[in-house]
Structure 1
Amino acid sequence: MVFLYKTTHEGQTRRGLFCGGSIVEPLHVVTAAHCVERLLETEIKVYAGKLDSNIDLIEPYQQSADVQLITIYESFVSETFHGDIAILTLDRPLNFTKGVKPLCVPRSGNTDKDLKPRPAKEPSFKYGMVFGWGVTVTQNFRESRVLREVKLPIRKQSFCTAAHPGMTKLMFCAGGLLKQDSCQGDSGGPFALWSARSQKWWLAGIVSWGDGCGDPTKPGVYTRVGTAVRQWIYNNTNIE
């Protein structure tokens, strides 16, 4: 898990933390396309190994890197958030430690159902984990200073499209129970699934958009890391 930090102050974009991201290998981070589509590489710095969003507070596993290249998914549509995913190529590799680790990305042909962001058969729910420094209702809609996590259920696509008519096949929704949700500032961060088979965490989605936060009738929407997106990630990174 990383956060993206804007290093310059131009126009209406404020300086500071603005989105999250997932490390997929030492030189590449996956995030949401809408986070970076209007930015130059020189405007973004990536911080890894952080729990606190204060970059002046040096932590034991803290690392940082500049962005050398922004690659946006070719099917991304900014008006609808369709294909809301991008890859950041870093100017130096991150060192994997106890506090800096990658999320696994399934290969396009992987058929392990544990790794797919699909709901379980009723009445059960299939849960994933979301991480970020985004806005929290408990803090009067201010961004969290510390990294937080929330366990969210994947909902049926029919429920999702009824709640969000603008959803496409490259999206899924999760949440709607206990008013738990991702929110502003969490965009670009991972929706991760645990595989009992491999004993690893896998990237299944990207925090993308929503209609408010914590509304049980309108769960947050995530970019689906499905077959085509998985292949695109492999084609644009050095994952072995």
Structure 2
Amino acid sequence: MNWLCLLVLLATCGLAHGTWDNCGGLCGYRSVSYDYGAAAYQYGHYGMTRVVGGTGAREASWPWLVSLHHAWIPGTGHMCGGSLIHSQWVLTAAHCFDDVSNISLVYVMIGATQLSHPGPGAQIRYVKQLRTHQYYNKKNMKNDIALLELDYPVLCSPYIQLACVPDFTLRVSELVYCFVAGWGATSARASTSSDLLQEAPVHLIDLKLCNSSEWYSGEIHSSNVCAGYPQGFIDTCQGDSGGPLMCKDNIADYYWVVGVTSWGEGCARAKHPGVYTSTQHFYDWILAEMAASPYRKASLAAQTWGHFPAVPQPTQYPWMGPPVTQPPWMGPPVTQPPWTRPPVTQPPWTRPPATQPPWTRPPTTQPPWTRPPATQPPWTKPTAAHPPWTKPPASEKPKPVPTSSDQVSSCPFPNDELVKFFTQVKDLLQEVFGENTT
């Protein structure tokens, strides 16, 4: 009996690990501790929060939300948001790539809440291909939707889960509890994105009202969804583009991504709510693009291409509603942790090539310590033509040098004249003072 129990336990663990490895077709689930529920939504859990600045989201609160980064953007590098709808596919907005000429410079951060400190649950993937809608029009923002195929699948974990995309059987207009989230600007005039993920509740707004003369005056398409408040205050803003508009299922505990953040007139203006691309409207396009990928490896969606059931079945599509008996927060296996880093061949932190390292020293031909040439040393002695100890010219008479004691060569008069002079002086003195004078 004990052996039978052990076998059952091992089989159960094996199924759990298998489900975790490939995300198991589960989607839309949040951890129980992060699910605010209807009470928080209705009775003021968010207080006076404004999405245009937002309330900081808790870690892993929206596990399918991703941040698109561009290598040339300063700061955190955040460019747009997106939703993970398959282990290798991200749903986002087409207009995010209007000015991107090289898709290889874009990479995806999944499982992060604070971009400057992603944490151990974050993973990074590069973009294998970009598939924008073939009829996307950047002038009127029609068909503003795109898919990114990642270079290799992500590993689902408590930090990373798949988003649910609704088909045409879901009545989106009847969903009550909806939220927006993103790393966009925290105020209408902010010039930088938010480092911490922001979130806030919104209400779905009737499309006819949103398109009326006092609102958007016919600029809204049938493939759009409007969400926010008539008085403004709460809205997505710059940098939130491509991120999800999420609504909780009215019966189950998972969320549907019903919209992709597209555009809006200003941020949080009265009668000008956020405009989103309807994911339900482009449900078939999403399936077709994923199935038509030339890089796909027999994906689950491609294998089941054809007529789809009206009600999502979790065993057939990776973005369908998950069964309650298989929550997505089960522990990952030790051999495949959720914090797997990107391959070494293409890390976002690649250093410059060795041929031009930032620490290159100056060439040896001109080292900074080169001494002056020997022809002009700073200690050069004066030339022999003008030495500082030059003797006087020969025309100048040298000073007399003393001779022996019996000669007075320095006196200019001859000796006989001196004897005569002193004799006369002696005689004169004798006459004046007498004969005793010597």
Q: Give 2:211's aligned residue.
A: 161
Q: What are the equivalent positions in structure 2 for 1:1-240 lying under 5 Å apart?
A: 1-8=65-72, 16-39=77-100, 40-54=102-116, 57-107=117-167, 110-113=168-171, 116=172, 118=173, 126-137=176-187, 142-162=192-212, 163-165=215-217, 166-176=219-229, 177=231, 179-227=233-281, 229-237=282-290, 238=299, 239=301, 240=317
Moved over 3 A (4+): 138-142
Q: For the Cα contact (< 8 Å) 1:65–1:90, is it kept in 2?
A: yes
1:50 maps to amino acid: A
SS in 2 for 1:154: strand
Percent of aligned pairs with the same amino acid = 29
SS in 1 for 2:205: coil
1:225 and 1:203 map into 2 onto residues whose CA distance is: 7
User: Can you list the C-alpha shifts for 1:35-63, whole angstroms capped at 9, x where unaligned?
Assistant: 02442320210000111122xx3402110
Query: How many Å apart are 1:14 and its aligned residue?
Result: 9.1
Give the paired residue count: 224
Q: For the Cα contact (< 8 Å) 1:37–1:72, is it kept in 2?
A: no
CA, structure 1 residues 95+139, in 2 after alignment: closer, same or farther (shift >3 Å)? farther
2:67 maps to amino acid: F
1:99 and 1:78 map into 2 onto residues whose CA distance is: 34
Q: For the Cα contact (< 8 Å) 2:232–2:269, is it kept in 1?
A: no
Q: For the Cα contact (< 8 Å) 1:6–1:45, is it kept in 2?
A: yes
SS in 1 for 2:107: strand
Of Structure 1 and Structure 2, which has the larger fraction of its residues in helix?
Answer: 2
User: Can you list the C-alpha shifts for 1:75-102, whole angstroms capped at 9, x where unaligned?
Assistant: 2111111111000000011111101111
SS in 2 for 1:89: strand
Q: For the Cα contact (< 8 Å) 1:7–1:15, is it kept in 2?
A: no
Q: For the Cα contact (< 8 Å) 2:71–2:106, is it kept in 1?
A: yes
Q: Give 2:57's aligned residue.
A: none
Structure 1, unmatched stretches of 5+, are none
- Structure 2 length as normaliser, TM-score? 0.48
1:139 and 1:200 map into 2 onto residues whose CA distance is: 34
User: Can you list the C-alpha shifts for 1:204-230, whole angstroms capped at 9, x where unaligned?
Assistant: 000000111111221111111124x00
User: Can you list the C-alpha shifts for 1:157-212, whole angstroms capped at 9, x where unaligned?
Assistant: 12211212321111121112560110000000001111133422111000000111
SS in 2 for 1:232: helix
2:154 and 2:210 map into 1 onto residues whose CA distance is: 36
2:201 and 2:151 map into 1 onto residues whose CA distance is: 33
2:76 and 2:70 map into 1 onto residues whose CA distance is: 5
2:187 and 2:208 map into 1 onto residues whose CA distance is: 27
CA, structure 1 residues 206+138, in 2 after alignment: closer, same or farther (shift >3 Å)? closer
1:78 and 1:153 map into 2 onto residues whose CA distance is: 26
- Structure 1 length as normaliser, TM-score? 0.86
Query: How many Å apart are 1:16 and its aligned residue?
Result: 1.4
2:188 and 2:140 map into 1 onto residues whose CA distance is: 29
1:58 and 1:132 map into 2 onto residues whose CA distance is: 15
**Greater relative CO (CA pairs within 8 A, separation 6+):** 1
1:181 maps to amino acid: D
2:163 and 2:76 map into 1 onto residues whose CA distance is: 27
2:156 and 2:289 map into 1 onto residues whose CA distance is: 20
CA, structure 1 residues 234+216, in 2 after alignment: closer, same or farther (shift >3 Å)? same
SS in 1 for 2:209: helix
Q: For the Cα contact (< 8 Å) 1:51–1:146, is it kept in 2?
A: yes
Query: How many Å apart are 1:74 and its aligned residue?
Result: 1.8
1:149 and 1:3 map into 2 onto residues whose CA distance is: 14
Q: Give 2:8's aligned residue.
A: none
